[in-house]
């Protein structure tokens, strides 16, 4: 089966939806998303979006905070561009129907929160469910737009490029690598559909599921990075995996984040004896940058042998806590924890990929007609460590810029017909009766990534991880060509590639910087490593 469209968007989080709404002004857009439309990392984002609105704040303050957080690797021109375009993008969200929290003293002023690493209050939020509100409003606009079709339970397999077509015996007219869509698995019907498009956008989010413990939803398996890299896009800075310092530690809780805003509003970290420990690690104490806080907690747990530390905001008025953090308060109550009266048990967990597919200021990947937006991309904004609440901001700015450039691309490519593309050929593949191979390899990857390529690393651990992932890659390759594709198999294939990219980048960087901490090279080395780690296929 073949479907043609002007724009193909892979992913239904904030990045993909913003692009789709802009692009739909000039053509037909199809969004494919591998589960339910709202099952995205955006939907789970609690804190908010960093942007300058307060009179005591300035672009220069926000730029400086971002640069300091990025530990020397941010691209300053990109940081300045994103920060300065931020307020306009926030206002655009409001025009789309997003309801942000306002100050209680009345008026139209937004209520601005504060989070770790920020020198001023600048977090635009909807209490503690900002992402949910953004996703709701954007999906409402998407569903009302006649030029946009959203297909749930459709998972992209691989991109259709000039090289793909040539390998399949079709003569390509382009002289440089070009993307013409993707092969996509219709999960419910078990068939592979050929989607042909003039512009293709990767907006698939991050890859937290490559680790045993993560704040990410189950969809975060690095699909976009893996597909783009297989197609020939360069990946960069994959060693910089941000571990959020405070995820709820409870046997029945799954992937539940305790927002950084809790510390921004006065929450403090305690050990099992009730001792505040962050003052021993950084002058900003509990509001230090995420890499420092996560590493400090990891060290405290290794010293004490405890399973968790505690985040305490119970000293603040109960009414304030319930009003500012209604979702966190209600969720913790379900697990028997009253955050107005007792501390919250927390542990670090994989949260955000600062690296990804290398893009320029317009989200272009280096392959014609192919864009990458949101967490799937490495734009130069985050450097070695993302500043809290800069991720949704990045998605807003780059999605808008990508759409503006893609509209020009699409208009230039709209004169001729789309190329012929062969339908998916399963060959002699059969249904698998050995799914245990998939589950076993998935579990092994997540465990050795957590143990060997986690918050603190060594060269020996990285070598062990590399040996294991290469063996698993070979097993997956054999399995992939012998059996019909399923969502679980595709996710495993992508996760294995993501693991290999993280290990490769981490092994190359012979220093400690930001989110990458190697005990064998504990110092930052600007003479040799003040640069991005770039990996090509």
The count of C-alpha atoms lying within 13 angstroms of the C-alpha of 215, restricted to the half-sphere facing its C-beta, is 27
Those residues whose C-beta lies under 8 Å from the C-beta of residue 334, and which sit 6 or more positions away, are none
CA nearest to 206, candidates 365, 350, 27: 350
Helix (H) or strand (E) holding 370: strand 370-372
Distance CA 76, CA 515 (A): 19
Q: Which of 89, 290, 295, 386 is catalytic?
A: 290
Secondary structure of 272-315 in the HEC alphabet? CCCCECHHHCCCCHHHCCHHHHHHHHHHHHHHHCCCCEEEECCC
Those residues whose C-beta lies under 8 Å from the C-beta of residue 71, and which sit 6 or more positions away, are 291, 383, 384, 385, 513, 514, 524
| Greatest Cα-to-Cα distance within the chain, rounded to the nearest angstrom | 70
CA angle, 114 then 44 then 358, to 5°: 85
- 324 labelled catalytic: no
CA nearest to 245, candidates 207, 277, 223, 206: 277
The count of C-alpha atoms lying within 13 angstroms of the C-alpha of 497, restricted to the half-sphere facing its C-beta, is 22
Distance CA 92, CA 141 (A): 13
> How many angstroms separate the Cα of 236 from the Cα of each of 73, 368, 409, 464?
12, 19, 25, 22
Q: Which residues carry out catalysis?
A: 290
């Amino acid at each position: 089966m073949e479907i043609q469209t002007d724009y193909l968007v892979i992913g239904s989080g904030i990045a993909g939806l913003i692009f789709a709404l802009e692009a739909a002004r000039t053509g037909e857009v199809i969004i494919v998303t591998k589960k339910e439309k709202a099952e995205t990392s955006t939907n789970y984002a609690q804190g908010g979006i960093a942007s300058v609105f307060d009179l005591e704040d300035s672009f220069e303050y926000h730029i400086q905070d971002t640069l300091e957080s990025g530990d020397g690797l941010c691209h300053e021109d990109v940081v300045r561009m994103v920060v300065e375009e931020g307020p306009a993008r926030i206002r655009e969200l409001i025009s789309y129907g997003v309801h942000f929290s306002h100050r209680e003293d009345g008026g139209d002023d937004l209520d601005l929160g504060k989070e770790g690493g920020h020198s001023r209050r600048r977090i635009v939020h909807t209490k503690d469910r900002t992402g949910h509100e953004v996703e709701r409003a954007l999906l409402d606009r998407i569903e009302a737009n006649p030029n946009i079709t959203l297909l749930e339970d459709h998972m992209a397999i691989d991109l259709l490029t000039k090289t793909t077509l040539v390998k399949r015996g079709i003569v390509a007219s382009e002289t440089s690598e070009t993307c013409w869509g993707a092969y996509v698995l219709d999960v419910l019907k078990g068939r592979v559909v050929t989607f042909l498009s003039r512009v293709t956008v990767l907006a698939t989010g991050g890859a937290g599921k490559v680790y045993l413990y993560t704040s990410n939803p189950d969809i975060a398996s690095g699909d976009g990075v893996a597909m783009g890299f297989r197609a020939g896009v360069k990946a960069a800075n994959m060693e910089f995996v941000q571990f959020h310092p405070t995820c709820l530690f409870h046997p029945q809780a799954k992937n539940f984040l305790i927002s950084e805003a809790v510390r921004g509003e006065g929450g403090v970290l305690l050990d099992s004896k009730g001792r505040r420990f962050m003052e021993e690690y950084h002058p900003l104490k509990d509001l230090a940058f995420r890499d420092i806080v996560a590493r400090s907690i990891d060290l405290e747990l290794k010293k004490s042998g405890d399973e968790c530390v505690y985040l305490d905001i119970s000293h603040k008025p109960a009414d304030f806590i319930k009003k500012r953090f209604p979702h966190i308060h209600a969720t913790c109550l379900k697990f028997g924890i009253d955050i107005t009266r007792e501390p919250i048990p927390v542990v670090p967990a994989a949260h955000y990929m600062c690296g990804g597919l290398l893009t320029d200021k317009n989200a272009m990947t280096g392959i014609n007609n192919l864009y990458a937006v949101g967490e799937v991309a490495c734009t130069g904004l985050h450097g070695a460590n993302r500043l809290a609440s800069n991720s949704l901001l990045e998605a807003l700015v780059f999605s808008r810029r990508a759409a503006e450039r893609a509209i020009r691309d699409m208009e230039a490519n709209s004169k001729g017909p789309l190329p012929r593309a062969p339908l998916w050929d399963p060959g002699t593949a059969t249904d698998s009766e050995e799914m245990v191979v998939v589950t076993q390899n998935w579990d092994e990857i997540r465990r050795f990534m957590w143990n060997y390529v986690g918050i603190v690393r060594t060269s020996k651990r990285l070598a062990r991880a590399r040996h294991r992932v290469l063996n698993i890659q070979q097993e997956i390759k054999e399995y992939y060509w012998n059996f019909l594709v399923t969502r679980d198999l595709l996710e495993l294939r992508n996760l294995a590639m993501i693991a290999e990219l993280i290990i490769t980048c981490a092994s190359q960087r012979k220093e400690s910087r930001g989110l990458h901490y190697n005990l064998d090279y504990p110092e930052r080395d600007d003479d040799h490593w003040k640069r991005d780690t770039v990996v090509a296929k």
